[in-house]
A and B are shown apart, each in its own frame.
Chain A
Amino acid sequence: MRPRAAVVAVNGVLAGLAAVTLFPLLWMLSVSFMPAGAASALPPPLVPAEPTLVHYRELFLNAGMLRWLANSLLLALAITAVSLAFNTLAGYAFAKLKFRGRERLFNVLIGALIIPGQVAMMPLFLLLREMGLVNSYGGVVVPAMASVFGIFLVRQYARTLPDELLEAARVDGASEWRIFVSVVVPLLKPVLASLAVFTFLAAWNDFMWPLIVLTDHELQTLPVALATLSREHVQDNELMMAGSVITVVPVLVLFLALQKYYIEGLLLGSVKG
């Protein structure tokens, strides 16, 4: 194939795919600025003729969007902070601290990865009810305070740390905790950044469990509130798009800013090792 034709072909296909991929998101943005009812017209408009912020105002002032935004943010941050701590401790231990049954225990954990979370949902609900955590932030945060995937990721990375460094510190008389805090954690920064981004995005986008556990309107996260709104306001196209924009834009921005870490984490868990 002649080079120029090939270049055009390859980039043409890529551009076409990128257009198809981005179109729904751009359309969502565009419709969110259209006045109510404008999108239900023939032919369907692609660009607002009279852009307006009325839906955003409606969502933030009347529907309590700010509250849901705060909920999503708070829960995602809390889950990220706590699970990062717990997973890093465990991941490092599985990688570098010898103890009896370490490998077997780790294999059991890996096996648990194939169990779909939904098997646990109903008993977990009953358990949290006994603990008084249903319909509270705790109900969402507590079960997410550690994850096998997080432990796995940290372990993968921690295994590459040089043993000599740790041995030297031990010989100097430092306790395991000091070694962890002063030597290991700084070295783990890349994987911690990746895991943090990963966990935050997953927590932000989580839908099924918050749907079940949070019944109070005030406590709901953005995805759940959006799902509820969308089943109720089937008619209000433009309003729903505004809601979608608010749900999607924060994570997109976060992703664009921290792409590197996210992709690194993804690959660490999938390809390397």
Chain B
Amino acid sequence: MMPRLLLIAAWLLVSACAPQPSGREVVRFWAMGREGEVVRELLPEFERRHPGLRVEVQQIPWSAAHEKLLTAFAGGTLPDVCQLGNTWLPEFAALDALAPLDARVAASGVISREDYFPGIWNTNVVSGQLRGVPWYVDTRLLFYRRDILRAAGFETPPATWPEWQAMLAAITRQGQGERYGILLPLNEPEPLIALALQQGEPLLREEGRWGGFSSEGFRRALRFYTAMFENGWAPRLAGAQISNVWDEFGRGRFAFYISGPWNIGEFKRRLPAERQDDWMTAPLPGPDGPGASTAGGSSLVVFRSARQREAAWRLVEYLSEPEVQLRFHALTGNLPPRRSAWQDERLAADPHARAFRDQLERVRPAPKVPEWERIVSEMQHLAEEVVRGRTDVEAGTRALDRKVDAILEKRRWLAARGRAG
């Protein structure tokens, strides 16, 4: 039996390692989540235009992406091109892992910086150098069930916090235990970050050297957020416990959901036809008028360690063409960062995208520090603790600031030596 087993293993190995077609350079490209699944469809055209190149896409789940990228950096196995969430850019720039792209953009016929939303372009500039090219923009706003709102007596979505609270109360009351006003998974920090960004005070003080979570602004946002659970408008659930968000939204288990542009495509795909008229998007309400939201999105970066720098840049240029970005939008619902793409009728005519164009006028970036990912994790934990009644807002935010100050200690040390970004 042993020799046969070895034979099978050898055959599997050989068949699994398909020989590379000779004569083509391979560009390694890592993409995350849904983008990773879908971007493959855009590549045959690229390979047709560049017969000497072949793109190898690896799809990485978001939940593991940060770890994977850092592990790859540590292990020296980074790809050539990568999709990078723009809040991670400062971190990888601090590691000096990203090739600067100013010269390439200046010489490029495809990418012109004036065409991009300035706030978004800005998130890609770290210490005065351009480190990535925005690929798509992302922000968070309301997805809601129009029919449920109407049944509760509301014709339009909320524009202020008090209006929003009134709607949540009415909907939850009407639902009688079977329906929640809003779904806020406890493992998603973005809604709280958006609410916090609507306040005046910065989340980190002194250019990201000290924590600012004890500010009155953050505390107000945190109280608003946790009140949703205290009042019973949102269930105390984490992502893993919701068996299927789209199904539950379709079944009307909750009326509001704060999410991003990719869910336009997902809802269109997964909700049954009879439900497609019942859902819509709306900008986030602020304390006393339409509010700000997160300036998210992903960029395309070329790593310094890339073996195929020229070819990598060609791929970046290709994916930045307005036409290709519109095709990408059609596939994923992701929104292009280029104004010229927005003028196209496909995007202008999409009713669900309208709220996003509106919201993009009011986006604010997160603090650009490499430790931001870790700080967000601590902030999220605080929110969960308050929601579950383990601590209160005053003591909790003070404790959070102490932790954040400790996390930023090395950054302060490096800054003192003139080595921090």
Contacts and interface: CB of A to CB of B under 8 A. Distances in A.
Contact of A234 (B9, B12, B59, B239): B239
Interface stretch (B243-251, B257-265, B298-306): B243-251
Interface string A97-114: 000000000000000000
A149 interface: no
Interface in A220-244: 228-229, 231-232, 234-235, 237
A159 interface: no
Contacts of A228: 61, 64
A145 interface: no
B58 to A, nearest CB: 5
B9 A129 contact: no
Interface stretch (A7-15, A20-28, A210-218): A210-218
Interface stretch (B73-81, B205-213, B227-235, B324-332): B73-81
A99 to B, nearest CB: 32
A125 B73 CA distance: 12
A229 B75 CA distance: 23
A141 interface: no
Interface residues of B, number: 31
Contact of B75 (A67, A70, A125, A218): A125
Given A71-B16, A134-B71, A234-B242, 4 more contacts: A40-B244, A77-B5, A231-B61, A237-B243
Contacts of B76: 129, 132, 134
Interface string A131-147: 01011000000000000
Interface residues of A, number: 30
Interface string A180-224: 000000000000000000000000000000001101111000000
Given A40-B247, A74-B9, A237-B243, A66 B61 contact: no
Contacts of B244: 37, 40, 235
A69 B63 contact: no
A73 interface: yes
19 contacts: A37-B244, A40-B244, A66-B12, A70-B9, A70-B16, A73-B8, A73-B12, A74-B9, A126-B74, A132-B76, A134-B74, A135-B75, A135-B77, A216-B77, A217-B58, A232-B33, A232-B64, A234-B239, A237-B243
Nearest to A40: B243
A71 B247 CA distance: 35
B243 A74 contact: no
B11 to A, nearest CB: 9
A66 B61 CA distance: 19
Interface string B1-44: 00001101100110110000000000000000100000000000
Describe A's contact surface by its main secondary structure.
helix
Which residue, of B15, B16, B247, has the highest number of chain A Cβ atoms within 10 A? Answer: B16
Contacts of B60: 217
A218 B63 CA distance: 18
B403 interface: no
A37 B239 CA distance: 17
- Which 9 A-B pairs rank lowest in CB-CB distance, beginning with the nearest? A134-B75, A232-B61, A70-B12, A135-B77, A70-B16, A235-B244, A231-B63, A40-B243, A217-B58
Nearest to A218: B58
A37 B270 CA distance: 12
Interface in B128-172: none
Nearest to B2: A196
A211 to B, nearest CB: 9
A74 B13 contact: yes
Given A217-B59, A231-B61, A129 B243 contact: no
